[in-house]
């Protein structure tokens, strides 16, 4: 008989019998095609706070399907190019000190060059006020830097002209200004009964309020004095009223120490006999000039201010509070917040938060950042007892004079020998720290006390405390990066985010001509007036030679918030694209959120606001997973990646680098809590073709008032067939059930992906794509 010829496996070099078509060692074919069987369980338990993954792998042999599906070419997403993307409406971008707010020219979108018709003459005073800016859809938006001084002068001139028209009309009709857009009624107050749990001095009900002008108001001592807009403002002049807006007043206390900023917020700087004032605020990332009258909510019995008070009879404090209340629709919308919101509102500067509860943050590093921020002239605030991981019981903080669920201002940071000290202020002007380094503490060194607590100088609500005590009782630090002396530039681009991705989404392409330091921020519009929670994520990418979204440069945290920021970073010359994403409402169809994308930089930039198709958004997430995804274990070309850190949930992406084998994978996340799935299910089953990758699912934190947890198990096997019939049956779906799914979602979708992709955006996000584009 003829001698049998053995063959050597090209993968593991095992010598096999001639009749064997598959390698006994690794499962590869005699011709060198891998069809190695694999079924693996990857158990992934992740907590929202720790985001730690634990993994268990069990390898077993899987019998290849008896049917064979011809291997298709790796799927390719629809082509696009950043350079060819449609542009959006034109708007000017100008260099500006973030601490020196200016009113932007809101783009007026028209399809022709014909100027819009003039409006009819106003019939009432409020007809002279500008319309609230809205985002409009158009075909082009080119952004370029231009001298900001001209724009600033133009904006201030327009505000003055508007003010003159209002004053002229008031004199003609012989009456003081009454703002009927924000009338002195109970509707403008809103519901105040939800203040329980907030630190609010002297609660009050709307029925106990009367609206009065300054000439009708009394001070707390029962006297009536003339009011002024400014009277040598300082942080100690601000006193919180019966409204839970300590976060705003803490920010105002910080700005009070910066007259260069404050005077640019109050455009009306002297007392108005006609009761008309203009305040400029950066609302949801966009500058607005807000015109208000001088009717203020007061207590019926005492006829004193019910809400924010400016000591020394200053009006700027209640005016700023009223202007933002008007922007939101009612005073009640001002309740509860963090100082970082107020700093962004008042300065327009890039703002950041340091979470003192993070375990991986070193105390020395945080202290160095505080000293650096103080040296740079940044303004800072802090939150006491509002975190999820309270280090000391609430009653302990209270026994030492601190209020929990409360915002404070940080006035000074000092390194005095070995002593690390902070000067902190309560916007109430009372309830101060009574522990070590407080005013009455007996352990003060005499020389240090003379310098830090000079005799005869009293600042209500302000106190010194040690850095160690500060870290025990406070959970976060907020700071605004005021860089007015550095002549930084800014871009502010309106955009839409959320819902099922559509072609009205916006990305920002940047052209960087020289090394540039910058910071990018994304603001959600109407965050204080909305009842729902939406996540924000912003990614900055290189643009690859094909014009596609390339490697991730940096990104913001993804979380439920009103504002996301990247922090400071450097870009070298080149082309970049910034994507703005929100996934919480991914399955809510046409639901969209107005937003603003803001870029601050130390050099002038050029850019284009371009259309961001679903393919571009998906590429952005893929690049994020490639750079930051944690690879649990790679099995012969099967690479699962998990993103949890700074992600507010979980993203699972699987790469199949095998040349001729499908990966059947089940991602099981049913034990996750307080999350939403981009697939509308927490258990998904997919067939990933050869040489392809797929984002299997994304879980998003749902309710911001509660923590979340994500858990994940992966079960994988290899097959020559794309059909999932066997795996569907293993997970409880009968053949009849699979047929029903096929009828509902289409044969290909139902057999290769369960649940089937619900809409076009889901298909763009979750359909397999080539792993080697």
Active-site residue numbers?
246, 406, 426
Q: What letter does residue 702 receive in the DSSP assignment?
A: -
Residue 525, burial from CB neighbour count under 10 angstroms (0-12, 13-18, 19+): buried
With beta carbons less than 8 A apart as the criterion, state whether 723 and 65 touch.
yes
Q: What letter does residue 362 receive in the DSSP assignment?
A: -
Q: What letter does residue 461 receive in the DSSP assignment?
A: T
Beta bridge mates, 730: none
Angle of helix 246-256 relative to helix 316-328, nearest 10 degrees, comes to 140
What single string gives the DSSP state of each residue in 494-516?
EEEE-SS--TT-EEEEEEE-S-E
List C-alpha distances in Å: 601 to 301, 349, 481, 492, 633.
Answer: 52, 11, 12, 12, 40
3-state SS assignment for residue 622: helix
Angstrom distance (rounded) from CA 464 to CA 433: 8
3-state SS assignment for residue 708: coil
Q: Both tokens of residue 601?
A: 């930089």
Beta strands in 302-444 (DSSP E): 309-310, 351-355, 379-384, 406-416, 419-425
With beta carbons less than 8 A apart as the criterion, state whether 551 and 623 touch.
yes
Q: Is 297 left (phi over 0), alpha (psi -120 to 50) or beta?
A: beta
The per-residue b/e assignment along 40-62, b for 16 or more CB within 10 angstroms, e otherwise, is: bbbbbbbebeebebebeeeeeeb
With beta carbons less than 8 A apart as the criterion, state whether 37 and 663 touch.
no
Angstrom distance (rounded) from CA 584 to CA 287: 27
Q: What is the CA radius of gyration of the chain?
A: 31
Angstrom distance (rounded) from CA 728 to CA 684: 10
Q: Is 567 left (phi over 0), alpha (psi -120 to 50) or beta?
A: left
3-state SS assignment for residue 570: strand
Report which of 643, 565, 577, 569 is spatially closest to residue 607, judged by C-alpha positions: 577
Residue 630, burial from CB neighbour count under 10 angstroms (0-12, 13-18, 19+): middle
Report which of 684, 658, 691, 671 is spatially closest to residue 765, judged by C-alpha positions: 684
Report which of 360, 253, 323, 351 is spatially closest to residue 600, judged by C-alpha positions: 351
Per the listing, tokens 């020289």 go with 514
Q: What is the 3-state secondary structure (H, E, C) of 485-497?
A: HHCCEEEEEEEEE
């Amino acid at each position: 008989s003829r001698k049998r010829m053995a063959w050597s496996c090209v993968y593991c070099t095992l010598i096999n019998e001639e009749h064997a078509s598959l390698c006994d060692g690794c499962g590869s074919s005699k011709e060198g095609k891998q069809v190695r069987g694999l079924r693996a369980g990857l158990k992934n338990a992740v907590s929202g706070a720790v985001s730690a993954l634990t993994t268990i792998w069990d390898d077993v042999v899987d019998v290849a399907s008896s049917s064979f599906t011809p291997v298709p070419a790796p799927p390719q997403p629809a082509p696009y190019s950043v350079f060819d993307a449609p542009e959006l409406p034109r708007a000017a971008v100008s260099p500006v000190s973030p601490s020196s707010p200016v009113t932007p020219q809101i783009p007026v979108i028209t399809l022709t060059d014909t100027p819009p018709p003039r409006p009819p003459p106003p019939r009432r005073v409020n007809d002279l006020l500008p319309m609230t800016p809205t985002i409009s859809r158009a075909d082009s938006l080119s952004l370029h830097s231009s001298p900001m001084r001209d724009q600033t002068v133009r904006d201030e001139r327009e505000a003055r002209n508007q003010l003159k028209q209002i004053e002229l009309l008031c004199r003609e009709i012989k009456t003081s200004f009454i703002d009927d857009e924000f009338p002195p009624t109970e509707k403008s107050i809103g519901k105040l009964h939800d203040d329980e749990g907030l630190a609010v001095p002297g609660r009050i009900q709307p029925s106990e309020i009367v609206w009065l002008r300054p000439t009708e108001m009394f001070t707390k001592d029962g006297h009536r004095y003339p009011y002024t807009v400014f009277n040598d403002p300082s942080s100690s002049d601000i006193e919180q009223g019966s409204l839970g807006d300590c976060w705003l007043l803490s920010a105002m206390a910080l700005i009070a120490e910066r007259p260069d900023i404050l005077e640019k917020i109050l455009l009306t700087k002297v007392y108005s006999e006609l009761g008309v004032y203009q305040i400029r605020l950066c609302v949801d990332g966009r500058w607005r000039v807000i015109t208000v009258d001088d009717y203020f909510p007061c207590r019926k019995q005492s006829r004193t201010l019910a809400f924010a008070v400016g000591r020394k009879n200053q009006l700027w404090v209640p005016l700023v509070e009223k202007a933002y209340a008007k922007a939101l629709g009612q005073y009640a919308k001002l309740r509860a917040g963090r100082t970082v919101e107020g700093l962004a509102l008042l300065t327009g500067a890039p703002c950041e938060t340091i979470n003192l509860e993070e375990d991986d943050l070193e105390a020395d590093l945080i202290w160095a950042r505080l000293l650096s921020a103080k040296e740079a002239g940044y303004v800072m605030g802090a939150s006491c007892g509002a975190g999820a991981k309270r280090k000391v019981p609430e009653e302990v903080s209270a026994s030492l004079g601190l209020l929990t669920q409360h915002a404070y201002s940080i006035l000074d940071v000092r390194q005095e020998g070995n002593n690390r000290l902070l000067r902190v202020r309560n916007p109430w002007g009372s309830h101060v720290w009574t522990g070590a380094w407080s005013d009455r503490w007996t352990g003060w060194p005499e020389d240090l006390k003379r310098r830090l607590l000079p005799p005869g100088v009293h600042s209500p609500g302000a106190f010194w405390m040690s850095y160690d005590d500060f870290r025990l009782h406070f959970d976060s630090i907020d700071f605004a990066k005021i860089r007015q002396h550095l002549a930084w530039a800014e871009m502010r681009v309106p955009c839409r985010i959320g819902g099922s991705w559509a072609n009205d989404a916006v990305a920002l392409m940047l052209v960087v001509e020289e090394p540039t330091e910058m910071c990018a921020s994304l603001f959600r519009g109407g965050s204080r007036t909305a009842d729902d929670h939406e996540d924000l994520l912003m990614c900055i990418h290189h643009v690859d030679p094909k014009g596609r979204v390339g490697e991730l440069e940096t990104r913001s945290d993804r979380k439920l918030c009103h504002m996301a920021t990247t922090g400071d970073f450097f870009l070298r010359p080149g082309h970049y694209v910034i994507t703005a994403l929100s996934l919480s409402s991914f399955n809510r169809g046409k639901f969209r959120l107005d937003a603003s994308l803001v870029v601050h930089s130390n050099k002038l930039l050029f850019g284009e606001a371009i259309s961001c198709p679903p393919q571009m958004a998906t590429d952005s997430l893929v690049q994020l997973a490639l750079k930051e995804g944690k690879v649990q274990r790679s099995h012969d070309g099967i690479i699962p990646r998990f993103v949890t850190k700074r992600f507010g949930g979980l993203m699972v992406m699987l790469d199949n680098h095998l040349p001729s084998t499908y990966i059947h994978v089940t991602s099981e996340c049913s034990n996750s809590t307080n999350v939403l799935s981009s697939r509308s299910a927490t258990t998904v089953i997919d067939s990933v073709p050869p040489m392809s990758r797929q984002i299997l699912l994304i879980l998003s934190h749902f309710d911001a008032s509660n923590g979340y947890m994500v858990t994940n198990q992966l079960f994988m096997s290899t097959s020559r067939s794309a059909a999932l019939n066997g795996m569907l049956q293993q997970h409880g779906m009968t053949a009849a059930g699979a047929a029903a799914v096929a009828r509902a979602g289409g044969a290909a979708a139902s057999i290769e992906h369960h649940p089937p992709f619900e809409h076009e955006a889901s298909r763009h996000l979750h359909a397999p794509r080539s792993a080697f584009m």
